[in-house]
Amino acid sequence: MGATIGRSIQCGGHRTLWASQGRSRETRQRAEAEGFEEVTALVDLCAQSDVIVSVCPPHAAAQLAEQVAGTGYGGVYVDANAIPPALAGRIGELIVGAGGGYVDGSIIGPPARASGSTRVYLSGTGAASVAELFDAGAADAVVLDGFFTSASALKMVYAAYTKGSAALLLSVLGGARSLRVDEALRLEWAMSIPELPARSDRLLEYSGRKAWRFEGEMRFISETFESAGLPGGFHSAAAEIYRRLGGQADESFPVAHEQTLTDLLAGAEPAPFDPTR
């Protein structure tokens, strides 16, 4: 995602830097393919940048912001990650306290290849100026009326349904297997909810790719819902589902259904009731 967000900005004629220290060979390949300018250390990137856009796994967002604030960065910092509005607020305070400006952001959609697929939501003072950076690129910037952390809030509620309902369906598939009614469930779905068997297949085969990132995102969504006065249990359960699939990150995909079902049920206690009697 970072590569296509960077390219969207670069399309407008802006210099686009990346800090290579400690990054993987794959990240280097993507950065070089897009023609981003390499600087080695984050402190040098901070010194040379007017705007920094943070796009990283959600659980790493706070640490990255601390590192940037620690350099005394005085430009605009856009946190575009899937984080709770409360955390976005704390990151904003940290950045502003260190002398910079903060714009809250979030990204909804796949890596942007053409306009219309992917929105970069922006909120708070300075959002309109950041939005202009995206005018020429494939990612569509949308400035939200509302509050300075509305972009993070929107991402939380959007992902709450998409990734939450995917985790729910995975859990149902695991439960049906454990209770030995999985074939009957598929036959019933084929009659009454015909889209679910194919959706189930895709989830069993591909959910493990990003599960290691989704676990933290689900925990953030659970926190966000509890702070909004709603139950956090949907997404703490979803975090557990993605945690169980986290080891699939390095698999080749599609993963066999049997393996995903085994991973979903790994560590499960035997049911106290014996259905074989």
Rg (CA), the chain: 21
Q: Which of 111, 237, 246, 257 binds a copy of itself (CB under 8 A)?
A: 237
Q: Residue 214 interacts with a copy of itself (CB under 8 A)?
A: no
Residue type, 254: P
Minimum CB distance to a copy of itself, residue 40 (Å):
37
Angle at 158 between CA 238 and CA 226, to 5 degrees: 60
Which of 168, 205, 206, 251 contacts a copy of itself by CB under 8 A? 168
Three-state DSSP state, 54: strand
Q: Please give the sequence-ordered ranges of beta strands (E in DSSP) within the chain, or none if there are none.
A: 17-19, 37-39, 51-54, 76-79, 101-108, 119-123, 140-143
What is the C-alpha to C-alpha distance for residues 131 and 120, in angstroms, rounded to an integer? 8
Q: Which stretch binds a copy of itself (CB under 8 A): 4-12, 36-44, 48-56, 219-227?
A: 219-227
Residue 238 near residue 167, CB atoms below 8 Å: yes
Task: Choose, by CB under 8 A, the member of 63, 162, 197, 202 that binds a copy of itself.
Answer: 162
SS3 120: strand
Contact between 58 and a copy of itself by CB under 8 A: the answer reads no
44 binds a copy of itself (CB under 8 A): no
Residues found near a copy of itself in the complex (CB under 8 A): 85-86, 89, 108-109, 119, 121, 144, 146-150, 153-154, 156-158, 160-162, 164-165, 167-169, 171-172, 174-176, 178-181, 184-185, 188-189, 191-193, 196, 224-225, 227-234, 236-238, 240-241, 264-265, 267-273, 275-277
